[in-house]
Chains A and B, each alone.
Chain A
Amino acid sequence: MKEKKTRRMMLYQLNDGEAIAAYLEKMARKGWLLEKFNNILTFRQIEPGEYKFAVTYFPEGSVFDPAPTEGQETYIDYCRAAGWELAAVRGPIQIFYSEGSDPIPIETDEAQKLAAARAVMNKTMVLAYVLLLISFLLNGHNWLDDLLTNPLYTLSSPLSLTMLVCCWALVVILGFFLIDHWVWCARSKRSVENGGACLPVSTKSRLAATYCIFALTALMLVGILAQTADKSESPGIIWILVGTLAMYALAFYALSLLRKHGRSRGAVKWGFVAVMIALVAALGYGSVRLVESGALQRKSGETYTDSRGHTTRIFRDELPVTLEDLGYTVTPDDHCSYRERIQSTPLAAIRSYEQSPHAVGSRLPLLSYSVTVIKWDALREFCWDKASKPEVVRLGGYYATLGEYVDTDPAPWGAEEAKFKDFGSTYLLLYPDRIVTVRLESNRDELTAEGIATFTQFLMNIE
């Protein structure tokens, strides 16, 4: 008969050995004995009973070991002689159980116990968290930069907003885990030097932080799905997410295969490095190919190749104000694309519109405008302040300013405030609940009073 198994998510931090042991003892009382220890804990069914568990740290062990090392085997033999059986091992972390009610503790020297825990944590948890922290700090910095340079888009985009929030929240949580661990090490060291024991850790706060990570992961997924929910956005980001998840799954699978068939730690380690390089290269190459093939672009619309051989997509969305409304004559030979984009978050909602002629030699200007509804006054003021700052772009090795806004008369627009910059002939308008940008990119034309009146009529009616 097939042995019954069950799996549970590993919720505890690796340095919280006592909490892990207490949890495994609880599972054993329910009739489940730990069999495999990873991000997922695998249990096999046993007769419910009182088992004692101990999590020990073996600094010589590595996740790349194809089998327990000679030293680890000796360690396991000593434990067996003292009444402890190995339940599961994951690199340098070993979990033992004993059916006796009061076995000799595996570690009876607190200084040795602390030294082993610190050495193992430094090469597992601390290393991983520091790398993740750096990665989230860099990402968080980029999203923050986006917020400060383009607040209207960032606050309206579910993806940008959730990434901004999640990256910085993860920086705080990872920072908490690291500081908590270092504080525990320092306090335990002092305690042991004074003849005491390693100090207990706060399991509750660590568990709460772990649940926060799950919640943030869910929030990121919601952000990605919300970003692609609107028909105006392409589902490309989902494919990149699926590709990344598949890459991680393949990497873990490759590591387990390498461990199964590898002959030495070095062979497994370098084999894994080679697999990771291949997977990252494949993901990068696949992404580039997908982008180039247009598979990641929005499916609606038609493909147009101009006389210079440049291919683009032409959309036929309904726009509230078009070049035609402004008095321009648009012919099919201009190959104009009419594109509407809609994004919203609980903080802001943006509708942006663009009418762009794609035919080479077309004399039509490019028309683009956006309406961002922001309910909170303070947030609207923040956006207005940031949006009216000069746009700075990096060109090669130096920075350039793309025009500076100057105050202009808001009355024709019916706005509270209005600004204008020559670069791209862009108007920035502040209304009681929204910020509007209007851009008519042309070397010859400027918006006329009639054009402004046409816009004003539509802009205030957009919900």
Chain B
Amino acid sequence: MARGKFKTLTEQMYYILLCLCSECCGVDVMERVRGMTGGRVLIGPGTLYSLLESFLTEGFIRETRVEGRRKSYIITPSGREMLAAERERLQTQLRDFEINYREEEGK
């Protein structure tokens, strides 16, 4: 099924936004996401650059500091809404699973 841009978040988009709930330098996002997920989710540097640029354009994150070429970002209210919507979607999925899986088990 096709995923429209930002209608739902990919795992990598989700963790980048989650990571930027606290201010973080772009280059450190890769390492922080790796730490958050125990190495399960890896973000390539090219993908990170493209997604940060897209999030900036869409207003999901904003620049907080620029030190030379090191730029720091933080999530915006609009980004938080996006993240919350994704959390809601995932929770609904989980709830649906719990209900249907238990019903199937109970049969």
Binding site for B on A (CB under 8 A): 56, 70-71, 73-75, 77-79, 81-82, 84, 104-109, 111-113, 115-116, 193-194
B42 contacts A109, C-beta separation under 8 Å: no
Whether, in the assembled complex, B50 has its beta carbon less than 8 Å from a beta carbon of chain A, the answer is: yes
B53 contacts A106, C-beta separation under 8 Å: no
- How many angstroms between the C-alpha atoms of A112 and B31 in the bound complex? 20
A108 contacts B43, C-beta separation under 8 Å: yes
- How many angstroms between the C-alpha atoms of A126 and B47 in the bound complex? 24
- How many angstroms between the C-alpha atoms of A77 and B53 in the bound complex? 15
A107 contacts B69, C-beta separation under 8 Å: no
- How many angstroms between the C-alpha atoms of A81 and B70 in the bound complex? 12
6 contacts between A and B (CB under 8 A): A74-B69, A81-B30, A108-B12, A108-B42, A113-B46, A194-B2
How far is the CB of A3 from the nearest CB of chain B, in Å? 29
B53 contacts A71, C-beta separation under 8 Å: yes
Query: Which chain B residues (40-65) contact chain A, with CB distance < 8 Å?
Result: 42-51, 53
Do A84 and B45 contact each other (CB < 8 Å), given the known contacts A74-B26, A77-B27, A193-B2?
A: yes
A-B contact count (CB 8 A): 73
Q: Write out the residue numbers on chain B whose beta carbons fall within 8 Å of the beta carbon of A193.
A: 1-3
Q: Write out the residue numbers on chain B whose beta carbons fall within 8 Å of the beta carbon of A109.
A: 10, 12, 44, 47, 50-51
- How many angstroms between the C-alpha atoms of A462 and B53 in the bound complex? 76
Whether, in the assembled complex, B71 has its beta carbon less than 8 Å from a beta carbon of chain A, the answer is: yes
B3, B44, B69, B71: which has the most chain A beta carbons within 10 Å?
A: B44
- The list of the 8 closest CB pairs from A to B, nearest first, reads A78-B45, A108-B44, A106-B46, A193-B2, A109-B47, A79-B45, A82-B45, A112-B50
Q: Write out the residue numbers on chain A whose beta carbons fall within 8 Å of the beta carbon of B2.
A: 193-194
> What range describes how many residues of B lie at the interface?
20 to 34
Sample of 5 more A-B contacts, CB < 8 Å, known A78-B49, A113-B46: A70-B69, A75-B46, A104-B30, A104-B44, A112-B47
A56 contacts B46, C-beta separation under 8 Å: yes
How far is the CB of B45 from the nearest CB of chain A, in Å? 4
Minimum CB distance partner of B50 in chain A: A112
How far is the CB of A187 from the nearest CB of chain B, in Å? 15
- How many angstroms between the C-alpha atoms of A111 and B11 in the bound complex? 13
How far is the CB of A108 from the nearest CB of chain B, in Å? 4
- How many angstroms between the C-alpha atoms of A248 and B68 in the bound complex? 39
Query: Which chain B residues (58-92) contact chain A, with CB distance < 8 Å?
Result: 69-71
- How many angstroms between the C-alpha atoms of A382 and B71 in the bound complex? 72
Interface membership of chain B positions 88-103, coded 1 if the CB is closer than 8 angstroms to chain A and 0 otherwise = 0000000000000000
A107 contacts B47, C-beta separation under 8 Å: yes
Q: Write out the residue numbers on chain B whose beta carbons fall within 8 Å of the beta carbon of A82.
A: 30, 44-45
How far is the CB of B22 from the nearest CB of chain A, in Å? 19
How far is the CB of A92 from the nearest CB of chain B, in Å? 12
B10, B28, B30, B46: which has the most chain A beta carbons within 10 Å?
A: B46
Q: Write out the residue numbers on chain B whose beta carbons fall within 8 Å of the beta carbon of A115.
A: 50
Q: Write out the residue numbers on chain B whose beta carbons fall within 8 Å of the beta carbon of A104.
A: 30, 42-45
A78 contacts B27, C-beta separation under 8 Å: yes
- How many angstroms between the C-alpha atoms of A172 and B44 in the bound complex? 38
Q: Write out the residue numbers on chain B whose beta carbons fall within 8 Å of the beta carbon of A107.
A: 44, 46-47
Q: Write out the residue numbers on chain B whose beta carbons fall within 8 Å of the beta carbon of A194.
A: 1-2
Q: Write out the residue numbers on chain A whose beta carbons fall within 8 Å of the beta carbon of B45.
A: 75, 78-79, 81-82, 84, 104, 106
B46 contacts A112, C-beta separation under 8 Å: yes
Q: Write out the residue numbers on chain A whose beta carbons fall within 8 Å of the beta carbon of B46.
A: 56, 75, 78-79, 106-107, 112-113, 116
Q: Write out the residue numbers on chain A whose beta carbons fall within 8 Å of the beta carbon of B48.
A: 78
Q: Write out the residue numbers on chain A whose beta carbons fall within 8 Å of the beta carbon of B26.
A: 74, 78
How far is the CB of A259 from the nearest CB of chain B, in Å? 21
- How many angstroms between the C-alpha atoms of A273 and B87 in the bound complex? 52
